[in-house]
């Protein structure tokens, strides 16, 4: 087996035909970068030819062109959308639980305990090699994990539907937060494991020319599922929403149309029934490899069958690839530029007095755009240069962070005497979040498309899950750090009520309570939020300058440079 090397190894740039002996005067030294560029240009031209072979008329309308491009993959795309939708439902329900706990005046400490239920998606890399290497030939490589996971999710939901009201404490009792976390932790673990299987299946379910649409299915499906599990449930569970919009005046009630138990019971049966249909009707066919009828013997590529130990070894080898090392640096550091605006803006609005339900209702306006946007930019993210969209959206998203900071400063000036805000304030914030989501989803979909393209289908579950997990961690740790240090930049003064006379600093909770108990007001003199946004934005601009050319380069190198094992070879 030929050893796989990084893009900077000269051994990869030497290719010759031993049957032809050129004269020394005809020898030309080709730089590695140009050789790699030539290889990638050939790949891009092949990509273009494959698309044109499908008789796509460039003069037809968008819908007809899309249909022709996706021909042969439409049923697979619809299935992927549904599988990712199912994945999003439990995630939405888990996201709704903290709001229900908050309505029961649960402490932040208890909320922190429940937050452990979110951990599986950040740790799924630990068991991804097992999912990729242990499977039943009778069921198929991906269905061996996806089907049992979805059955277990359905059974968990059915069990939860009979117990959740008691666990939540009923109408007047206190919730059993620890038991609630222990129920939703394995539920999220199963959803994370299903995600590994579906991610790997997406790489082989779609043909090579349309594999970039895997990220579109991921974004659209999960968004729709999260919307159903979170926003739709909270709306139907709210008596206020149901009385105002869904019931006549004579049918008003103190409860919503559904409760948590009934909603979970319904989705439990949906999981069981639809999983049975997928098990019976859908076969696993590897479309990532072109038809082998016209290929020379030995050139076919199939998914590799590796043991558990071999899979972890492959994971280690993936991490050693030079392009992957650069990719890890990009994924783990890129979102630091947006940590302050993304992680703190909603908290600032709540501190100003904007109700949580009004803030959550903004998601109703954002969800249609989140579903449509991946399809709108799919033409570019499904091509050979998906990260061009990422590079265009990055500085725009930094700018939106500055706009958010300006809106945070502006919003308190429009508070009414009763503490409420005019509807124009909500309109402005909805508009701001729409532009924010435009940049956020453009970056997300383009990055997911690139990850899908570079992931080796033969070890797709492990490869894709590793990069997705790093992408998740890259979004989580900056927010945690920024939230931790922002208090260092914030200074508060205890001011005599109705005056501007400063008595003393009230930076700690004890001093703030002392100030309030004395009838005075603890006001913010220097707000660390604005400092954090400014610092993150500067870091983002520097990051963009450093990594711009590197991201361009990573798109240009041949896809073979991302593989642990060379094409048409097997591991030792």
| Phi, psi (rounded to 5 degrees) for 545 | -65, -40
How much is the pLDDT for 16?
32
- Give the pair of three-digit tokens for residue 25: 């005067």
Residue 493 has pLDDT above 70, yes or no: yes
Q: What is the pLDDT of residues 501-511, one digit of tens each?
A: 888 888 776 78
Q: What is the pLDDT of residues 103-146, one digit of tens each?
A: 676 654 566 677 778 778 877 888 888 887 888 888 888 899 99
- Give the other-Cβ count within 10 Å of 438's Cβ: 20
How much is the pLDDT for 360?
67
336 CB burial (10 A radius; 0-12, 13-18, 19+): buried
CB 335 within 8 A of CB 474: yes
How far lies 86's CA from each of 93, 137, 149, in Å?
A: 12, 25, 11
How much is the pLDDT for 46?
55
Across 138-142, 206-210, 342-346, the highest mean pLDDT is recorded for 138-142
Query: Which one has a higher pLDDT value, 309 or 565?
Result: 309
DSSP H/E element including 284: none
Residue 561 has pLDDT above 50, yes or no: yes
- Give the other-Cβ count within 10 Å of 508's Cβ: 11
How much is the pLDDT for 169?
77
How far lies 252's CA from each of 233, 234, 240, 277, 308, in Å?
A: 18, 17, 9, 39, 58
CB 167 within 8 A of CB 187: no
How much is the pLDDT for 5?
34
pLDDT confidence tier of residue 284, bands split at 50, 70 and 90: confident
Residue 415 has pLDDT above 60, yes or no: yes
Find tokens 């779609």 and name the residue. Answer: 206
CB 428 within 8 A of CB 359: no
**Strand, helix or coil for residue 525:** strand
How much is the pLDDT for 547?
96
* Residue among 210, 548, 556, 572 at smallest CA distance from 375: 210
Does 318-475+528-563 carry CATH code 1.20.1250?
yes
Residue 489 has pLDDT above 90, yes or no: no
Query: Which one has a higher pLDDT value, 460 or 13?
Result: 460
Residue 455 has pLDDT above 60, yes or no: yes
Exposed e or buried b per residue across 147-179, where buried means at least 16 C-beta atoms within 10 angstroms of its C-beta: bbbbbbbbebbbebbeebeebbbeeeeebbbee
Q: What is the Cα–Cα distance from 450 to 381, expressed in whole angstroms?
A: 8
The residues facing 526 across adjacent strands are: 491
Pairing of strands 521-526, 502-505: unpaired
Sheet of strand 491-495, all strands in order from the earlier edge strand to the far edge: 502-505, 491-495, 521-526
Query: Which one has a higher pLDDT value, 75 or 174?
Result: 75
How far lies 176's CA from each of 59, 163, 283, 316, 349, in Å?
A: 61, 11, 43, 41, 30
Q: What is the Cα–Cα distance from 339 to 331, expressed in whole angstroms?
A: 14
Query: Which one has a higher pLDDT value, 82 or 215?
Result: 82
Per-residue pLDDT averaged across 255-269, rounded? Answer: 91
DSSP H/E element including 337: none
**Strand, helix or coil for residue 343:** helix
CB 339 within 8 A of CB 481: yes
How much is the pLDDT for 357?
64
**Over pLDDT 90: what percentage of the chain?**
24
Q: What is the Cα–Cα distance from 542 to 452, expressed in whole angstroms?
A: 28
Residues forming CATH 1.20.1250.20 domain(s) in the chain? 73-283
Across 83-87, 90-94, 122-126, 208-212, the highest mean pLDDT is recorded for 83-87
How much is the pLDDT for 107?
58
Across 123-132, 206-215, 348-357, 407-416, the highest mean pLDDT is recorded for 407-416
Q: What is the Cα–Cα distance from 228 to 237, expressed in whole angstroms?
A: 12
Per-residue pLDDT averaged across 7-24, rounded? Answer: 37
HSE toward the beta carbon, residue 80, CA cutoff 13 A? 28
Cβ-Cβ contacts under 8 Å for 464 (sequence gap 6 or more): 199, 200, 203, 451, 452, 455
Q: Is 286 left (phi over 0), alpha (psi -120 to 50) or beta?
A: beta
Residue 492 has pLDDT above 50, yes or no: yes
How much is the pLDDT for 116?
77
How much is the pLDDT for 36?
47
How much is the pLDDT for 51?
47
Written out in words, the top-level CATH class of the domain with range 73-283 is mainly alpha
How much is the pLDDT for 8?
30
- Give the pair of three-digit tokens for residue 261: 């138990």
| Phi, psi (rounded to 5 degrees) for 248 | -80, 165
How much is the pLDDT for 336?
93
How much is the pLDDT for 567?
56
How far lies 373's CA from each of 95, 132, 217, 472, in Å?
A: 23, 31, 11, 21
Residue 279 has pLDDT above 50, yes or no: yes
Q: What is the pLDDT of residues 294-326, one digit of tens each?
A: 444 444 455 566 677 887 888 888 888 999 999
Kindly report the average pLDDT of the chain as a whole number.
Answer: 78
DSSP H/E element including 228: none
């Amino acid at each position: 087996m030929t050893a796989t090397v990084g893009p900077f190894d000269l051994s990869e740039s030497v290719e010759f035909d031993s049957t032809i002996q050129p004269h020394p005067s005809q020898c030309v030294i080709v730089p590695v970068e140009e050789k790699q560029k030539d290889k990638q240009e050939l790949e891009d031209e092949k990509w273009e030819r494959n698309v044109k072979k499908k008789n796509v008329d460039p003069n037809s309308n968008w819908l007809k062109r899309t249909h022709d491009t996706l021909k042969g993959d439409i049923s697979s795309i619809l299935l992927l959308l549904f599988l990712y939708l199912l994945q999003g439902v439990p995630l939405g329900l888990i996201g709704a639980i903290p709001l229900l706990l908050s309505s029961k005046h649960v402490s932040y400490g208890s909320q922190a305990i429940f937050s452990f239920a979110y951990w599986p998606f950040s740790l799924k890399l630990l068991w991804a090699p097992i999912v990729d290497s242990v499977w039943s030939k009778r069921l198929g490589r991906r269905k061996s994990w996806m089907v049992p996971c979805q059955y277990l999710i359905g059974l968990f939901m059915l069990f939860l539907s009979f117990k959740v009201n008691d666990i939540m404490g009923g109408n007047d009792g206190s919730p059993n937060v620890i038991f609630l976390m222990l129920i939703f932790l394995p539920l999220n673990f199963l959803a994370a494991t299903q995600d590994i299987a579906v991610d790997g299946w997406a790489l082989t379910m779609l043909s090579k020319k349309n594999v970039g649409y895997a990220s579109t299915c991921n974004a659209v499906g999960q968004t729709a599922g999260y919307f159903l599990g979170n926003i739709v449930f909270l709306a139907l569970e709210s008596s206020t929403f149901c009385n105002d919009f869904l019931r006549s005046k004579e049918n008003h009630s103190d409860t919503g149309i559904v409760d948590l138990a009934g909603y979970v019971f319904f989705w439990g049966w949906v999981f069981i029934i639809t999983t049975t249909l997928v098990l019976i009707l859908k076969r696993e066919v590897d479309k990532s490899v072109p038809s082998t009828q016209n290929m020379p013997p030995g050139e076919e590529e199939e998914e590799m069958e590796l043991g558990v130990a071999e899979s972890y070894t492959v994971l280690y080898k993936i991490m050693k690839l030079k392009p992957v090392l650069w990719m890890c640096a990009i994924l783990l550091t890129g979102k630091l530029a947006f940590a302050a605006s993304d992680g703190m803006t909603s908290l600032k609005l709540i501190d100003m007095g904007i109700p949580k339900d009004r803030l959550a209702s903004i998601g109703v306006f954002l969800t249609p755009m989140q579903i449509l946007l991946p399809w709108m930019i799919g033409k570019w993210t499904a091509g050979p240069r998906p990260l061009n969209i990422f590079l265009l959206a990055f500085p725009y998203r930094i700018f939106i962070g500055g706009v958010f900071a300006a809106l945070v400063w502006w919003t308190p000036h429009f508070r009414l005497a009763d503490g409420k805000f005019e509807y124009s304030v909500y309109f402005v914030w909805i508009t701001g979040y729409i532009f924010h989501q435009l940049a956020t989803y453009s970056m997300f979909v383009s990055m997911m498309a690139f990850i899908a393209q570079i992931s080796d289908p033969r070890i797709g579950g492990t490869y894709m899950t590793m990069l997705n997990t790093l992408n998740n961690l890259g979004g989580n740790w900056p927010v945690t750090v920024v939230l931790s240090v922002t208090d260092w930049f914030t200074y508060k003064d205890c001011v005599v009520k109705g005056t501007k006379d400063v008595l003393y600093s009230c930076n700690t909770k004890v001093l703030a309570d002392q100030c309030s108990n004395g009838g005075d007001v603890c006001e913010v003199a220097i707000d660390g939020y604005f400092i954090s946004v400014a610092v993150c934005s500067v870091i983002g601009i520097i990051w963009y300058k450093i990594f711009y050319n590197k991201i361009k380069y990573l798109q240009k190198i041949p896809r073979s440079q991302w593989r642990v094992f060379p094409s048409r070879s097997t591991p030792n």
